[in-house]
């Protein structure tokens, strides 16, 4: 079975995390070499947590962390120390272990504790101030939900079709998001402007959705709407097993 060029299949979640760490390191080196800095938008959830642990385990010298700016593709409307906070997960897995090399001024978190509309507008202003318009990330990391969501762009939520803003407070009503809530998220255009976009997908529970997203019409699922100059899917064999040639 031939694997499409934009899909990279790894044996398991650990190999996927290490492969993603290698790609992030290469993208960071190229960005820093070309522009003196690397701006990465991180995703939340369990899949990237393994990547962050791998990066932390490789130590402070594994890449020029002092030139890396960390942003978030989405955030829950909770305080940074809440167990559901994407920032909180990243702080424990990556920021704290590498505190000696990641400058606080380079950590740009979405303020989930603020009024969501204000937090989204503030983040969009910070993005444009740092990256211009459109804000061009060097790398956006994304996950895939079992319902086809990515970032906090959930099926049927208004944020999925926003084309005129970079960041939105997105009302979500989904069992995957544990009911009705508001999520802060980059929009499709903000994600799509990135130089590199990498979906990280692991586990048999994602196999059915991954097979659909890779073959369905683009507008069928939010994840399918993401287009850009360099979009790749880093997946493990368990997640890839239902993809047919
Ligand atoms: C979030 C994420 C979300 C995540 C997917 C996959 O805030 O939850 O940004 O889009 O990437 O839900 O999550 P897992 O990696 O935990 O399966």
For ligand 1, whether the C-beta of 46 sits within 6 Å is: yes
Q: How far apart are the C-alpha atoms of 70 and 37, rounded to whole Å?
A: 11
* DSSP state at residue 97: T
Quick check: 1 pLDDT over 80?
no
Q: How many Cβ atoms are within 10 Å of 165's Cβ, its own excluded?
A: 14
C-alpha 70/C-alpha 28 separation (Å) is: 11
pLDDT at 245 over 90: no
Give the burial string for 170-199 (b: 16+ CB within 10 Å, else e). Answer: bebebeebeeebbbbbbbbebbbbbbbbbb
Residue 206 CA, closest ligand 1 atom number: 17
Q: Is the CB of 47 under 6 A from ligand 1?
A: yes
Task: Give the single-character DSSP code of 165.
Answer: -
Dihedral, CA of residue 226, residue 232, residue 235 and residue 239, to nearest 10: 40
Q: Does residue 146 have its Cβ closer than 6 Å to ligand 1?
A: no
* CA distance linking residue 81 with residue 90, whole number of Å: 11
Q: Is the pLDDT of residue 125 over 60?
A: yes
Q: How close are the terminal C-alpha atoms of the chain, in Å?
A: 6
* 143-194 pLDDT tens trace: 999 999 999 999 999 999 999 999 999 999 988 888 899 999 999 999 999 9
> What average pLDDT does range 21-31 have in this prediction?
98
- Is pTM beyond 0.75? Reply is yes
User: Looking at ligand 1, which residue's alpha carbon is closest to its atom 15?
Assistant: 47
Distance 33 CA to ligand 1 centre (A): 31
Cα distance between residue 32 and residue 7, in whole Å: 26
Judge if the beta carbon of residue 77 lies within 6 A of ligand 1.
no
């Amino acid at each position: 079975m031939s694997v499409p060029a934009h899909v990279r299949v790894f044996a398991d979640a650990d190999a996927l995390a290490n492969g993603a760490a290698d790609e992030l390191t290469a993208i960071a080196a190229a960005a820093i070499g070309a522009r003196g800095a690397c701006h990465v938008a991180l995703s939340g959830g369990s899949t990237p947590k393994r990547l962050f642990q791998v990066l932390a385990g490789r130590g402070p010298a594994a890449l020029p962390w002092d030139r890396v700016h960390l942003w978030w593709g989405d955030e829950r409307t909770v305080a940074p120390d809440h167990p559901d906070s994407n920032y909180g997960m990243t702080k424990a897995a990556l920021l704290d272990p590498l505190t000696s090399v990641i400058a606080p001024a380079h950590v740009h978190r979405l303020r989930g504790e603020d009024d969501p509309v204000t937090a989204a507008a503030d983040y969009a202003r910070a993005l444009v101030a740092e990256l211009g318009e459109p804000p061009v990330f060097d790398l956006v990391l994304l996950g895939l939900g079992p319902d086809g969501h990515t970032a906090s762009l959930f099926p049927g939520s208004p944020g999925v079709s926003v084309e005129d803003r970079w960041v939105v407070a997105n009302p979500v009503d989904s069992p995957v998001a544990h009911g009705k809530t508001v999520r802060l998220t980059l929009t499709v255009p903000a994600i799509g402007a990135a130089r590199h976009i990498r979906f990280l997908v692991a586990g048999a529970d994602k196999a059915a959705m991954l097979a659909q997203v890779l073959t369905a019409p683009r507008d069928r699922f939010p994840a399918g709407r993401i287009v850009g100059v360099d979009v790749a899917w880093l997946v493990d064999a368990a997640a890839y097993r239902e993809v047919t040639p």
